[in-house]
Structure 1
Amino acid sequence: MKKNLVITIGRECGSSGRAIGRKLAESLGIKCYDKELLALAAKNSGLCEELFKTHDEKPTNSFLYSLVMDTYSMGYNTSAYMDMPINHKIFLAQFDTIKKLADEESCVIVGRCADYALADYPNVVSVFICADEEVKIQELMKRHNITRDKAKDVMIKTDKQRSGYYNYYSSKRWGSSKSYNLCINSSVVGIDGAVEIIKEFAKKKQEFLKINENA
């Protein structure tokens, strides 16, 4: 059993999911990977980092899931991989980097289907952060110094992209309680409250795994 604790965080736009992830990682004394994951995946794959930024958490209608996963199982040096469209290669590079991180260290990973990539890792805690609409709009207005209408537009479009990406690349539904170990409304408990809840949940899950392991 892989012992590293990895906490994955899915989040609605404006829910402070990224801030919760960073504060959680700081509290646990581990690293938080968000945009940093793109640079690592680019380095590991040899692909340009700008390509990862362009395709970051964006769905694609041309993605042939079974073909890509078959190629993943065979390795990257096959002719199928060499002929694969760039968006397919980017997804596989991120998928591979997420697994590599989980093998090497305890960490927090924000977004990018990390919970799905690590589905067979028992020591992973998958979390989804949501928030009330008005709270999210106010957060985005403050964060980006934009109008209410613009903030709402950003929120809707970003969540549509994230849900499309997650639903397309994984076998689960973005934001559904069935897809995660834990769902938290940050507008009810705040950033600090969310951090403490996740820490306590992770502790309880690790204790439960240990009991079952020794049973």
Structure 2
Amino acid sequence: MAKTNTIITIGRQYGSAGREIGYKVADELGIKLYDKEMLDRAAKESGICQELFETHDEKPTNSFLYSLVMDTYSLGYTSGSYTDMPINHKVFLAQFDAIKKIADEGPCILVGRCADYALEECDNVIRLFIHADLDVRIRRIARIYDLTDAKAKELILKTDKKRASYYNYYSNKRWGAADSYDFCLNSSKLGIQGTADAIKMLVEIKERDCEKQL
């Protein structure tokens, strides 16, 4: 049984262990974590081909030509109101709808994909951003993927740039900026378990204060 009524959204720098921390919190609070599962859900409910969600996952596409080509490819999969839009917008909106439906089903953790923005109107949400010192992230990614430090750094900068572009393109906020979230946590200072504990404490404080207001 869930030990919380709160939905937690996690934005994260690449290599900050945001997803691993999310899984720890989900496990300890008895709730589900959605990461790539958001894409599966959006594909299933929109009828848009699954591969297109993978292609566009947290990557903005500003190329009109690319959208045009992909649009022709996807015509067989789209229906209703999505038909006249560029494919990257269709994919984003389908994901946006899926996030809202998942949130309606109860407390959970949603990782990335502008979930904080999709749930802007909801009160029972804590919006988090997890970051870490670059040298710590380099060591982590180099270890996990067996890369040199230089390659790990390159991958980190490239991935963060994509995530920032996606978030800034689709939301009205700035990726990683403190005022875009309720709390920003540095996992290289708190450690993975420490960050998970801090998140649980924030949830507890939020729920306690909400009860007082009722």
TM-score (norm 1): 0.88
Matched-pair contact (CA < 8 Å) for 1:11–1:129: yes
Q: Distance in 2 between matches of 1:109 and 1:84?
A: 26
Alignment map for 1:56-95 (pairs within 5 Å): 56-61=57-62, 77-78=80-81, 81-95=82-96
Letter of the 2:80 partner, please give it.
Answer: N
**Residue 62 (structure 1) shift:** 5.6
1:13 matched residue in structure 2: 14
Matched-pair contact (CA < 8 Å) for 2:39–2:95: yes
Letter of the 1:192 partner, please give it.
Answer: Q
1:116 matched residue in structure 2: 117
Letter of the 2:86 partner, please give it.
Answer: P
Q: Distance in 2 between matches of 1:90 and 1:25?
A: 26
Q: Distance in 1 between matches of 2:164 and 2:112?
A: 11
Kindly provide the CA deviation profile for residues 80-119 of structure 1, in whole angstroms up to 9, marking residues without a partner as x.
x311121111000110000001101210000000000001
Q: Distance in 2 between matches of 1:147 and 1:15?
A: 18
2:76 matched residue in structure 1: none
Letter of the 1:77 partner, please give it.
Answer: G
Aligned identity (percent) is 56
Letter of the 2:172 partner, please give it.
Answer: S
Q: Give the number of equivalent residue pairs.
A: 197
**Residue 205 (structure 1) shift:** 1.0
**Residue 4 (structure 1) shift:** 4.2
Q: Following superposition, which runs of at least 4 residues in structure 1 exceed 6 angstroms of deviation?
A: none
**Residue 188 (structure 1) shift:** 0.5
**Structure 1 gap ranges (5+):** 64-75
Letter of the 1:130 partner, please give it.
Answer: H
Q: Distance in 2 between matches of 1:184 and 1:167?
A: 20
**Structure 2 gap ranges (5+):** 65-78
SS at match of 2:102: helix
Letter of the 2:129 partner, please give it.
Answer: F
Matched-pair contact (CA < 8 Å) for 2:60–2:88: no
